[in-house]
Amino acid sequence: MRDISFSEATLEAMSEEMERDSRVFVMGEDIARQGGIFGQFRGLPQKFGFDRVIDTPISETAIVGAGVGAALAGVRPVVDMHFADFITVAMDEVVNQMAKIQYMFGGQCSMPLVLRAPDGIIRSAAAQHSQSLEAWFMHIPGLKVVVPSNPADAKGLLKAAIRCNDPVLYFEHKALFATKGPVPDGDVVVPIGQAKIVCPGSDVTIVSYSLMMNKVLQAVEKLADLGIMAEAIDLRTISPIDKAAIFTSVAKTKRLIIVHEAIKVGGVGAEIAAMVAEEMLDYLDAPIVRLGAPFVPVPFSPALEKLVKIETVDIVKAVQQICR
């Protein structure tokens, strides 16, 4: 176990998987010669050559589409989207092609394709470089969607995604790339679809993922000081979602809060709240609370940007309200 950054952890995963399987290759804008905007591909071409670490034209549609075609022809592409916002440029390829192909072709082929999508708010990146669009893809049957929150999961989930025979969207929060944390040595793979109870508690369940997990963990500490024992669940995967982990926890704590950086309307929290309301209403001692961004594009001005971000204090306040 050593402390490395989120970015280094994903680099280790890439390197180990490319070493293990010669069919794995990676392509995207600025990834080979520049090493990725967040350094997440640095050194890979020197190890595996420019034929397996490929700088592409600025053609998101073609990048994802070619990834789909390559997967159909028997290789295992990892495709970098530069910024998650730009997946929208390749929406047909993601929604109509890569998600559907196995099903509409009757299982004749698999689709072992990973889309890496740096998302979330960082320093005034503004409306077209700050979005968290993961809920869109939760709505599409055929895709798997992972959302790591720390270096260990970043590595383990990326390895699982690369080995998976289904298309996986891998959302990595831009503000997490530099954060450090303990990462186990060796070939550790985190199973897709398995949430993790990061800290057990009995008074309230807080479900979150990605960057917001850090805020949730800070809130859990503050709440403990106030005598509230919160159970924090890191989803790690939002499709397929680990319903059992959420339900088991809610059955115990009887209170539920879902926290994400993405817009609250139509978000992951909406889905979880609906699931729990449909099947577990009788267990609940308080209304379900969702914390997410207001219904507005992410503004540029730092003064406004901070208004759309969820902070630890917001989580503490919300929990206090339903735990009275």
Pairing of strands 204-208, 256-263: parallel
How much of the chain is in helix, strand and coil states, percent to nearest 5? 40, 20, 40
Distances (CA, A) of 11 to 28, 57, 88, 151, 203: 15, 22, 25, 11, 38
First and final CA of the chain: distance in angstroms?
Answer: 40
Say if residue 24 is exposed, middle or buried (CB neighbours under 10 Å; 0-12, 13-18, 19+): buried
Stretch of 11-19, 21-29, 206-214, 225-233 contacting other proteins, by CB under 8 A: 21-29
Least distance CB 263 / other proteins (angstroms): 21
196 binds other proteins (CB under 8 A): no
Report the residue number, 52 or 174, with the smaller CB distance to other proteins: 52
Least distance CB 136 / other proteins (angstroms): 16
Task: Count CB-CB contacts under 10 A for residue 110.
Answer: 16
Is 82 in the active site?
Answer: no
Binding mask 273-302 for other proteins (x = CB under 8 A): --x---------------------------
Query: How many Å separate Cα 24 from the centre of its chain?
Result: 21
Least distance CB 242 / other proteins (angstroms): 7
Identified binder of other proteins from the candidate list 32, 44, 53, 101, rule CB under 8 A: 101
Task: Count CB-CB contacts under 10 A for residue 324.
Answer: 5
> Interface residues for other proteins in 56-85 (CB under 8 A)?
56-57, 59, 61-62, 64-75, 77
161 binds other proteins (CB under 8 A): no
- Among 68, 83, 154, 159, which Cα is nearest to 120's? 83
Binding mask 213-252 for other proteins (x = CB under 8 A): ------------------------x-xxxxxx--------
Identified binder of other proteins from the candidate list 19, 92, 285, 311, rule CB under 8 A: 92
Cα dihedral 231/237/240/242 (nearest 10): -20
Least distance CB 267 / other proteins (angstroms): 15
> What is the binding site for other proteins (CB under 8 A)?
22-23, 25, 51-52, 56-57, 59, 61-62, 64-75, 77, 92-93, 96-97, 101-112, 141-142, 144, 164-166, 191-194, 237, 239-244, 271, 275
Catalytic positions, written as ranges: 129
